[in-house]
Amino acid sequence: MSEAFERYERLYCEVCENLWKKCASANVLDGEQRKQKLCQVKAGMDNAETLIKEMDAEARSLQPNVKAVLLAKLREYKSDLDNLKTEVTKQTSNSNQVDTLPALAETHDQTSHEIRETILDTEELDVPILQDLESQPQQPFLHAHAHKTLHDVDDNKERRISRWMSRNKKWIISAAIVAALIVAILLILYFILPN
């Protein structure tokens, strides 16, 4: 076996062991710390791939009997690295899903709150107007004035809802796209990963 191959192999084993440890520690973290740890693992995987390429080039330059043994060993290393990539992809997907769901819930709560406020504001205006109508049905001027005020309240309510919809349209579309991407990633992982 060549000294160069052994040196690359030793480096690869150290890098790979370190990456698996980081991946395991990322699994118990959350938020920004988890993302940073997974970014470190991804960067380290690039180094591991470079070392595999170096080992591959070195193994192919050797005699056939030695080359066959080393290439078999390289296949195991590549398989191990593929397993690590799969684990990182799964953790990244889970991390994105965990980050997105609270944002969607917060937007839903905010939307519900704004709609409730609009309804309460409208009800506060409607009640005095209806009381005016009931207390003085014989006065046509007041009746017409109350009718106009009710009509203005309805227009105001529609404008507020329309303004809210246009203000939040981009966010709603973005949330729908993110949700669709998460579902697509989960489906891809389901069909790609072994059961």
Residues 70-102 pLDDT 10s: 998 899 999 988 998 888 888 877 765 545 545
Return the pLDDT at 32.
86
Q: What is the mean pLDDT of the chain?
A: 76
Residue 60 near residue 153, CB atoms below 8 Å: no
Beta-carbon contacts of 91 under 8 Å, excluding residues fewer than 6 positions away, are: 23, 26, 27, 34, 38
Better-predicted residue by pLDDT, 58 or 109: 58
Beta-carbon contacts of 99 under 8 Å, excluding residues fewer than 6 positions away, are: 31
Q: What is the CATH number of the domain that holds 27?
A: 1.20.58.400
Overall number of domains in the chain: 1
Beta-carbon contacts of 5 under 8 Å, excluding residues fewer than 6 positions away, are: 55, 58, 59, 62, 70
* Residue/partner pairs of 172-176 with CB below 8 Å, 24 or more apart: 175/103, 175/104, 175/107
Better-predicted residue by pLDDT, 67 or 113: 67
Structural domain containing residue 77: 3-192
pTM of the model: 0.48
Residue 57 near residue 5, CB atoms below 8 Å: no
Better-predicted residue by pLDDT, 18 or 175: 18
Tokens 């697509």: give the residue. Answer: 184
**Dist. CA 16–CA 19, nearest whole Å:** 5
Q: What are phi and psi of 193, to 5 degrees?
A: -75, 145
61 by DSSP, 3-state: which?
A: coil
DSSP 20: H
* Residues, the chain: 195
Q: How many CA atoms lie within 13 A of 61 on its CB side?
A: 11
Return the pLDDT at 101.
47
State the amino acid at position 103 in one-letter form. Answer: A
**Dist. CA 83–CA 194, nearest whole Å:** 11
The gap from C-alpha 42 to its chain's centroid, in whole angstroms, comes to 18
